[in-house]
Structure 1
Amino acid sequence: MNEEIYEVVKTFPKFSEFLNSVTTDGEINIQGWCENIKQEYSSYVYYDIENICPVVIRYLTKLKENTHEYNTKEGCNYLYYWLYEKAHKNNADDLTFTLYKSLLSNFGDYQSEICTFNVDKITGDIFQKLKDLYNLYDHFDKFQKKETCNSSTCNCAQECVDIYNKLEDSCSNDSYSSFCIELDKFGHKYNEHMKDNDTCEHTLKSVRSFRKNNLQVILLPPISIILVISFILFILYKYTPFPSWLLLRIKKNKRTRNYLNDESYQLLHNDKSRMDNSQNEPYNIEYHSVHDS
């Protein structure tokens, strides 16, 4: 999931709005649903279980009811991110993962299961990258909707530029990682949108790609293969009877070719002689016939 989750971060702003809209949904009766979870995690100070569990139950219920509008896998990835955000400062990686699985299991006790696919644990490093991508898309989403950031719509675009440029060091040595590929996709999306935008005169209209046409990356695999093959041939030549065997093999093949060539030549020569003789026979017969008459 660590690679896949970067691909769905662009949908997180949408699911954030979705979660906020169902938080106070009084139509969903959750009485008794969270009692086991509250007891199990009552001693964990990192989470406000009493408030988190009802939100999760409402969120999963509405997500299940709206699969025609919301992608389940994307929604479940956001839920895991949202839970992690609640306690990331406490380095509670294992606890968050366990709580996420427990909440899904608890939901499955009352309704058919959702979020049944496997997930990997989010670590602090992965979370920070997810958060950076999320902030990029969140500000970009607000800019597209002409909402304000610090009293100005253009500030939303400027925030995108600032966050994007801040991440250059993250991709300087590994520009083809899943994170940097998604970052590059955002850059293309931003540039495409700003190309036809005539507002925000003081905001950068395009950001540069961190993924360069790196000849080292392109040429490294074939060069490595050539070096490995050369090394193997050197070892074979230096420390094994391979050269002698190869030389004998070449000589044998050469003798075989010479023999075949001689045979072919002899066959062609014999065929030609037979053809010449056969062509002369009619004339001889005709000559004798005339002479006899």
Structure 2
Amino acid sequence: MMENIYSSISSFSICQDTIDVYKNNWDKKDESRCENAINEYFTDHNHLSDNTCPIALSYLYHINRYQHNLPKEAACYYLYYWIHEKLKSYVKPSEIKNVYDDIIKLYNRHDTIGNICTTYKNSTGFEDKMDDVKYMYEISMCLDITESKDKIKIETEFCKTLLDKISQYNQKNRNVEIESIAQDITQPCKNNIGSAI
């Protein structure tokens, strides 16, 4: 996978669009496979209603089979981010990586094309970066820093506050630049000017 998860954030909106396609359109066979694979991590059955695992499997089938301008590494990073955000209220933070690993193993066990999304295991501190990634993704969505063709500005309090702070910062910098330019434009001293007789 990419050494830097932050370089993948600009592709996350494309990944989200792909996930959205499968939210109501996943392979029904995956439901029973998922229940057996990840049921141990859940204390209640809330995970069954949001269908995180079957949607994740459909997403993996999609990114492994279709060629598009989305790097698989970015797609895998997004999948981890998405699973983390979906399950952090159901599962202990230390177990989210295990859920992700089990979904990947389940996919790789039933897919004949090859293993996908497994090389991140060499990354250190991957789970610790999730909060930073979340904020960076929200900022990129606010600022339309995405590779998606249909850029949508998210109107949230977070975005409004962020854009206000950026505007204040830019205005402050403009004022500083104007002051320094004004100080630089001074008339040269005209001492010792002689005139011809």
Fold conserved between structures, TM > 0.5: yes
| Cα distance in 2, alignment partners of residues 75 and 207 from structure 1 | 37
Contact kept? 2:37, 2:103, Cα under 8 Å? yes
Letter paired with 2:108: G
SS in 2 for 1:34: helix
| Cα distance in 2, alignment partners of residues 90 and 207 from structure 1 | 44
| Cα distance in 1, alignment partners of residues 48 and 34 from structure 2 | 9
Contact kept? 1:23, 1:59, Cα under 8 Å? no
| Cα distance in 1, alignment partners of residues 63 and 172 from structure 2 | 37
Tell me by how many angstroms 1:206 deviates: 4.7
Tell me by how many angstroms 1:88 deviates: 3.5
- 1:139–1:80: structure 2 CA closer, same or farther, 3 Å change rule? same
In the alignment, what sits opposite 1:22?
Answer: 22
1:135-184 Cα offsets, whole Å, 9 max, x none, are 11112228995745449xxx99755435x76xxxxxxxxxxxxxxxxxxx
Tell me by how many angstroms 1:8 deviates: 1.1
Residue ranges of structure 1 left out of the alignment (5+ in a row):
166-202, 210-293
- 1:148–1:90: structure 2 CA closer, same or farther, 3 Å change rule? same
- 1:90–1:57: structure 2 CA closer, same or farther, 3 Å change rule? closer
In the alignment, what sits opposite 2:120?
Answer: 118
Contact kept? 1:34, 1:53, Cα under 8 Å? yes
SS in 2 for 1:70: coil
Given the alignment of the two structures, is residue 129 of structure 1 paired with residue 110 of structure 2, yes or no? no
Contact kept? 1:13, 1:137, Cα under 8 Å? no
Tell me by how many angstroms 1:102 deviates: 0.5
- 1:159–1:58: structure 2 CA closer, same or farther, 3 Å change rule? farther
Aligned CA RMSD, in angstroms, stands at: 3.8
Given the alignment of the two structures, is residue 102 of structure 1 paired with residue 105 of structure 2, yes or no? no
- 1:141–1:207: structure 2 CA closer, same or farther, 3 Å change rule? farther
1:176-222 Cα offsets, whole Å, 9 max, x none, are xxxxxxxxxxxxxxxxxxxxxxxxxxx5695999xxxxxxxxxxxxx
| Cα distance in 2, alignment partners of residues 37 and 49 from structure 1 | 12
TM-score normalised per structure 1: 0.46
Contact kept? 2:15, 2:75, Cα under 8 Å? yes
Contact kept? 2:83, 2:96, Cα under 8 Å? yes
- 1:118–1:61: structure 2 CA closer, same or farther, 3 Å change rule? same
- Alignment map for 1:66-215 (pairs within 5 Å): 66-88=66-88, 92-111=92-111, 112-119=114-121, 120=123, 121-123=126-128, 126-141=129-144, 145=150, 147=152, 149-150=154-155, 158=160, 160-162=162-164, 206=170
In the alignment, what sits opposite 1:44?
Answer: 43
Letter paired with 1:132: Y
- 1:60–1:159: structure 2 CA closer, same or farther, 3 Å change rule? farther
Contact kept? 2:6, 2:133, Cα under 8 Å? yes
Contact kept? 1:56, 1:103, Cα under 8 Å? yes
Residue ranges of structure 2 left out of the alignment (5+ in a row):
174-197
- 1:67–1:207: structure 2 CA closer, same or farther, 3 Å change rule? farther
| Cα distance in 2, alignment partners of residues 141 and 204 from structure 1 | 19
| Cα distance in 2, alignment partners of residues 65 and 21 from structure 1 | 15
| Cα distance in 2, alignment partners of residues 12 and 205 from structure 1 | 27
Tell me by how many angstroms 1:89 deviates: 5.4
Decide which structure has the larger Cα Rg and report it: 1
Contact kept? 1:142, 1:156, Cα under 8 Å? no
Of structures 1 and 2, the one scoring higher in RCO (CA 8 A, sep 6+) is 2
| Cα distance in 1, alignment partners of residues 107 and 136 from structure 2 | 29
Name the % identity: 20
